[in-house]
Amino acid sequence: MMRTNAFKLEPSGEQAERLFKLSDHCSRMYNEINYRQRQSFFSGDFDWKTDEEYHRYRKLVGSATAQQIVRKNNEAWKSFFALLKRWKTGELERKPCPPGYWKDRRSGKRKLRILIRCDCYRLEGDVLKIPFGLKMEWRGKNRWSGKQGRLEIVYDGLSKKWYAYMPVEVQPPHQPTGNKKVYVDLGVKVPIMVSVGREVFGYRANSMLSD
């Protein structure tokens, strides 16, 4: 069972500048990979190759982070193809959309994110240590403990704060039964569409969009 610890980071001015630079490289890499994937998908000959982007950015973001960005994009496309297959068989009413970019549609600015492999960061007291020699204080509550997963650092443009999200694998209070799979599609008009077995749940955003 996966749970997520969320922290607010408190980098110094110099550390924040380094985070901005690193996250910009990460977002550019993800978007370039996704552009290539989308073009190949729309052409009818999907291509999973990402060697060019990996080798171009691994010196800028580190080989481990470059690997995680590739994996993150692959996960998005695999989820999309699974949902597309269910739509074609009539199990879903709404056709899923291909993975989008790390980009805000209104402002046109890139969404700043950094992905850190599970073995490349550590929490020591109130300090988070990540590659490139960055050690930052964090604030929050470490609610879950267990095997840590990939860390995702995100910049919130509204609050102008940095946040870190750490997935943790915890022992579930009970063992699941059966072999059901869950598919999730994230969008704009329908923020979340979930398919469990033959049941589909959708959450509309009409009120949010009108606001």
Domain boundaries, the chain: 2-170, 181-211
Classify burial at 8, counting beta carbons within 10 Å of its beta carbon; exposed 0-12, middle 13-18, buried 19 or more.
Answer: middle
pLDDT of 177: 65
Beta strand pairing status for 134-140 and 151-156? unpaired
pLDDT digits (tens, 9 = 90+) for 21-60: 999 999 999 999 999 999 999 999 999 999 999 999 999 9
pLDDT digits (tens, 9 = 90+) for 102-126: 999 888 899 999 999 999 999 999 9
Per-residue confidence band for 152, with pLDDT thresholds at 50, 70 and 90: very high
pLDDT of 103: 93
Q: Which residue in 151, 120, 119 sits closest to 138, CA to CA?
A: 151
Arithmetic mean of pLDDT over the chain: 90
DSSP string, 81-140: HHHHHHHHTTS-SSPPPPP--SB-TTT-PBPPEEEE-TTS-EEETTEEEETTTEEEEEEE
d(CA 102, CA 84): 21
pLDDT of 138: 94
